[in-house]
A and B are shown apart, each in its own frame.
Chain A
Amino acid sequence: GNSVTQMEGPVTLSEEAFLTINCTYTATGYPSLFWYVQYPGEGLQLLLKATKADDKGSNKGFEATYRKETTSFHLEKGSVQVSDSAVYFCALTDNQAGTALIFGKGTTLSVSS
């Protein structure tokens, strides 16, 4: 079945450090891939997405590239800020099967000044 595996956290960084959060997936069909962010006490917001192989999603300085050969969608940011502290979720939808989002377990990022 479809699944998403994220690196476990928490991830603790200093401001301006480089961020990578690893995400790999298993899917039948042709998934779309997403990164969502959840700030403390809030719901989930879409951060970025990619709908086909080799697409790069980007938003607010975050980037992720859809790699079909390695079934990965790693999230990166060159210089994190304290305001980036949140929980990050990798997710997929299997467009062929028409399922709802399948989420990874989430990675907590804490950035200190």
Chain B
Amino acid sequence: NAGVTQTPKFQVLKTGQSMTLQCAQDMNHEYMSWYRQDPGMGLRLIHYSVGAGITDQGEVPNGYNVSRSTTEDFPLRLLSAAPSQTSVYFCASSYFSGSSYNEQFFGPGTRLTVL
């Protein structure tokens, strides 16, 4: 099992450019999510998905789009990059069993800089 994989590891964009951060998991987890980590802010939820074809917004969704066409993949799209989107982005997956959500498994992160 590769677990949760993210590409690229590092990315530099210019303001206004668009790009897609890739996330994939091979654990057949229903639940996937995207977070951004900023100094002093902890991790904040951007978007999440409870299964293929179903997505919802988190705490900080503006400027980001997601889709979930397969169980395995959950890409995050930046439509028009802004310096405020400079951050470290983490993808995570999880599964629901019984009456509770289990722990989330995190990818290694993508460090994005927007100039």
Q: Residues of A with Cβ closer than 8 Å to B?
A: 30, 32, 34, 42-46, 49, 51, 89, 93, 95, 98-106
Contacts and interface: CB of A to CB of B under 8 A. Distances in A.
Name the prevailing secondary structure of the A interface residues.
Answer: loop
18 contacts: A43-B107, A43-B108, A43-B109, A44-B92, A46-B104, A89-B42, A89-B43, A98-B96, A98-B101, A100-B45, A100-B48, A100-B94, A100-B104, A101-B45, A101-B104, A103-B42, A103-B44, A105-B40
Interface residues of B, number: 26
A103 B104 contact: no
A45 B43 contact: no
Contacts, number: 54
A98 B54 CA distance: 13
| In the complex, the 4 A-B pairs of residues with the closest C-beta atoms, listed nearest first | A105-B42, A100-B33, A46-B103, A43-B106
B106 A45 contact: yes
B104 to A, nearest CB: 6
Nearest to A42: B108
Contacts of A99: 48
Instruction: Tell me what chain B mostly uses at the interface: helix, strand, loop, or mixed.
Output: strand
A95 B96 CA distance: 9
A62 B43 CA distance: 22
A58 B72 CA distance: 31
A51 B45 CA distance: 21
Contacts of A93: 100-101
